Amino acid sequence: MNAQQKNEILVNFIKSTSTQSSDSLYFNVLKLENFSEHTLVLTPKIIVPQGFNLLSRIPPKVRLQPGKTKHIPFRISIAKTAYSDINYNIKAQMLSELKEQIAQASCEVHIRPRRDWNFKIDDSEMIFSGTKNTSAAFSFHLVNLGNVKEKIHINIQIPEGFKPANSNRKKDFYLHLSPGVDTTIFYQVVQKFKNQELNFSDKIKIQAYNDIYQINKSIRISSYTNVFDYSPLKGQYQSYIEYSRRSIDGLREIKDELRTKGIVPLKNDNKLLYSFTNYDLSNTAEFWERSYYQLVFEGKNFSGGIGQHYSNLLVDAYNPHGAFAKWKFSTSKKSEFELYASQGLDYNITSVAAGNQLIIDKILIKTSAGYNEDSRRKQKSKSGILSASLPITKNHKLNLNARAIERDYFKDSTYTQSGIQGNWSYFGRITPRLFMNVKNRFQTKGFYTGNQENNQLEAAFKYRLSKKNRLLIDYSYQSKTGGSSDYEIKNHRVKSALDFRTHCNQNIRTGLWLEEYTNSETSLHSESKSCNIWMETSSRGDNIAYTISAVAGYRFQENTGFDSGKEIAFKNKSPNFNLESTLNIAPFGVRCSYINGSQKTSSLSQRSNYNELRISPTYRKEMLRDKMLFDLQADYQLDWVNNRKSINIRPKVSWKLKNNWTLLADAYISAYGERKVSFSGNDFNSNFRISLHKDFNIGRKRKKEKFHKMKMVFFRDDNKNGLHDKKEKGIEKSLIDINKNRDNKEEKNIQLSKLVSQSDGEISYNNLPEGTYDLAVNQLASTDGYFNFSGSKMQIKLDKDTTCFIPYIKAYKIQGKLVLKKTSISSAKVGQVSNIKVSATDTHGNTFSCLTNRSGYYQLPVAGKDSYVVNIHNPYGSRIKVNNNLAKVDFSDKESETVNFEFVEKRRRVNMKRANNRPTNKKYSSINPNKPKKALNKNRSTATKKTKRAVSKNTIPTKPKIIRNKQKPAKLQAPLNDLFYWTFHYFNSKLKKTEDYSVYGAFVFLSNANNFAGELRAKHIPAILLFNEKKKLYYVCIHKKPVN
């Protein structure tokens, strides 16, 4: 508490320090004590920091009697942009009648930190248009919405083939954002080589993060031209041919392979897919040649029917009797029928299946049945499947699936097996942060040798601790019984994980793994228990990425039973340690792993001890302007348990040639041997292959259809005649998206690409079918003040060769700012000046509009010299008065005019009424029923008149004068329901402005102030008690709030 005493007066604050949130209300009381022997007349003054607003009225003068104490309550609104790392001081000064400072005090306000920032990109697509334009730019926006200064790390990952336009421009940097500050960053990227082929799967990835959370965005790379040739085809013959020659183990075996695949378009959107494969091993000891032919037919709407059908036929030329065919037909989206047949020299396979689905009361039910007969396996089977999906609630779902099978075997002896397989799963959100997923799979008797039952239950729980932390718990149980050896297997496993992010780019997962395994057979009983602690960490940077995972634990195993008639007992205690790490430094990479102990596998019966080391380096590099790709993978393994070692090397080269030819060459070299023995010639095995790949695109013209050309010209119409003159320049980077109109009866399945205009502003579509097209225009670059007033969307009917001119006119501008003037007790809803519509209407009735930005500024382009009426939308209704609305603008010599608007919040009217909706001039007999009725009415009516008179004169009645009867008032607990409510305007002569106030209060007679204050506190009502000199009359200010 800071205070200064000058022998006469002591000034201090009730709360010396306080912690507040930004954009909140702060309350405190200034305490004055007079230690002198004479009355002091003081002028209090409270000084608040910049951006803070003092809401309470401070009395201009305070008369303080000797030995008395005075309290001055006040409220302050904290600035919305207040920093959390700054301590704000509120000062109070006491001035004498001569305006001299005789005392002062101060208190501190600490702001609670509020961290909130956002990151977004302006456009999710970056366009490289044409062969000349080898550069493109993108921009992203960051804003700090909190009150803490943020240090944000920006990481930009640019794919291969591109680089920053400025070599000094960093791809990894930091940004410091102060509270309320936003910034936009422009970044330009260029292609490393001209005329290079772009990979449309490439994306520019941008990461923005700090110590609280991370935001990832990506920008798609696209390339558009200004000419599109649409081939008037019903479809296209698409085909490729590939030849490869493979050498196995040096020259001991040579294998030639010829393969071709393709698509043949048919009528009514049907397709025929074909493939041919020929193997020639004439240079080997086997000396055989084998060929496969495969035809696949796909289509819909055949023979006037409905639905879809699919056929597949494969013929084996080596075996003339070997072929199979598959036909699938669906009459609608709800039912389908499938037929499968296979014919061989000594076997025959036939399969028929049918299915249907229906929805009953939001429950999806699927049913299917099938029959299979296999002469090769000597069996027949019948099956039926029933599945259902039940949405329990919005956040809970249950899936059921059951399958019944019956098999008849007639190989050696005829017998029948039958059983049921099924599963059910449940997913639900228990709380906004807790998710649960449960799965259960089961099998009944008859599926394997002997009778067997299998049941597996899995349950997963996920709890979000925060934006970057998650808690995962997995539980699984499996039980198997039956079989020829009459065994029983049980397994329990619990796995917990904590997933959190230490800082921007590093993820860490750690947890505990507990498992219990039991295997009981006729002659052997085995039990195993293990406990493991595991951890995974990963990080990814611009060119460096790494992952590290480790498992450390302990395993206890015990076996008891009989082996060859002898009783055995075996106990084993062994530690487990598994370590795996990967490191990628482009273009190199390496993966290392070491396993010592037991390794968990998906099958419960496969449990082994391992002690091995594996190292796998990689290298991947694009060369010769990305025309050649070299990929090298190697693997070295050292196994101490089996006393083995191995090495594998896999080099691969892909070379893009002209005319869609591709040359592929790869090899596989491996060697195996004992750990301490050197490799010999017989331990090596090699495989070499070289292949040549070619794509063909063969088309055929469609009959009875007309095609036309369409050309679009974007230009600067300087003379505003609507025609493209020679001296008028074109508009570049205008993106056109064209689509066939939905109401067209002509062919709609036309794949039209987006085009971007070049420096001449032209775009051409060749060989387009007749019809109506919808066009959407989007400008990708600045037009230097030229605007397209024809609209961004248009419709064109194409029945001949057409040229469309789209003029861009130099726009006149109407600009200005919206200023909001609020009252001191304004509603929080009144305060936004962004996204408010401003429109201008010319003399012909054309309307142009725009929206204001965050600061209230706007810029409205209009189409030429004319008279305009400017109007602004008022989203606040009658609460706001708009000044300068419907302003008229006439352009003469200027190309821009300024029109500013003012939103002025209206002041409230005086509205005095009681809280219980009774008039203020009613009798107050309910306040003190023990008091004489007439005297009380007289006193209250006098007080009410004084109060009304004070309000009408724009003054605050801090000390209403009451004429009381001589008799003493009785002790009374004031009824809290007898309150009144008033509103008034007060002209602050010092600030020279009118302030609006709203007050709840009550006038009561009390002989014991503590009882009444205690009653208020018991009902949790904040109160300020003011009293007169005789401490008999109290004015209770419950709270102060803006007028509705």
Q: Which residues pair with 819 in a beta bridge?
A: 902
Q: Could you please state the CATH topology (level 3) that the domain comprising 702-810 is classified under.
A: Immunoglobulin-like (2.60.40)
What homologous superfamily is domain 2-111 in, according to CATH? Immunoglobulins (2.60.40.10)
User: What three-state secondary structure class fits 657?
Assistant: coil
pLDDT tens sequence across 496-533: 888 876 655 577 888 888 888 887 776 677 888 888 88
pLDDT tens sequence across 151-209: 898 989 888 778 888 877 888 888 888 887 888 888 888 877 665 555 556 788 898 88
Domain ranges of the chain: 2-111, 117-224, 233-346, 702-810, 812-905, 913-1040
pLDDT tens sequence across 468-505: 788 888 888 888 877 655 677 888 788 888 887 665 55
pLDDT tens sequence across 956-993: 444 443 333 333 333 333 343 344 444 445 555 556 66
Mean pLDDT of 758-769: 82
Which of 205, 85, 206 has the alpha carbon at shortest distance from 150?
Answer: 85
**Residue 717 pLDDT level (bands cut at 50, 70, 90):** confident
Count Cα atoms within 13 angstroms, Cβ side, for 703.
1
Residue 230 clears pLDDT 70, i.e. is over it = no
Mean pLDDT of 945-963: 42
Euclidean distance between CA atoms 687 and 669, whole angstroms = 6
For the chain, give the mean pLDDT: 73
- pTM summary value: 0.47
The count of other CB atoms within 10 Å of the CB of residue 159 is 14
Domain 812-905 in CATH 1.20.1530.20: no
Euclidean distance between CA atoms 143 and 810, whole angstroms = 33
Which of 533, 637, 544, 648 has the alpha carbon at shortest distance from 593?
Answer: 637
Asked if 133 and 595 touch (Cβ cutoff 8 Å), the reply is: no
Residue type, 672: Y
Question: Which pLDDT value is given to residue 109?
Answer: 93
Question: Which pLDDT value is given to residue 99?
Answer: 85
pLDDT tens sequence across 303-343: 433 445 556 555 555 455 566 667 676 665 567 777 777 76
702-810 and 812-905 share one CATH topology? yes
Identify which has the larger pLDDT, 601 or 654.
Answer: 654
pLDDT tens sequence across 84-105: 878 899 999 999 888 888 899 9
Question: Which pLDDT value is given to residue 1029?
Answer: 41
Return the percentage of the chain with pLDDT > 90, whole number: 8
Burial status of residue 109 (CB atoms within 10 A of its CB: 0-12, 13-18, 19 or more): buried
pLDDT tens sequence across 644-674: 899 999 999 998 888 778 888 888 888 888 8
Residue 427 clears pLDDT 60, i.e. is over it = yes
**Residue 632 pLDDT level (bands cut at 50, 70, 90):** very high
Phi, psi for 335 (deg, rounded to 5): -140, 150
581, 605, 955 from 904: Cα distances, Å: 66, 80, 24
Question: Which pLDDT value is given to residue 493?
Answer: 82
Residue 158, Cα to own-chain centre: how many angstroms?
22
Burial status of residue 574 (CB atoms within 10 A of its CB: 0-12, 13-18, 19 or more): middle
Question: Which pLDDT value is given to residue 1030?
Answer: 41
Residue 385 clears pLDDT 80, i.e. is over it = yes
Read off the DSSP letter of residue 745: -
Euclidean distance between CA atoms 381 and 361, whole angstroms = 34
Residue 123 clears pLDDT 90, i.e. is over it = no
Euclidean distance between CA atoms 719 and 231, whole angstroms = 39
Identify which has the larger pLDDT, 948 or 172.
Answer: 172
Architecture of domain 117-224: Sandwich (2.60)
Question: Which pLDDT value is given to residue 294?
Answer: 66
Identify which has the larger pLDDT, 648 or 414.
Answer: 648
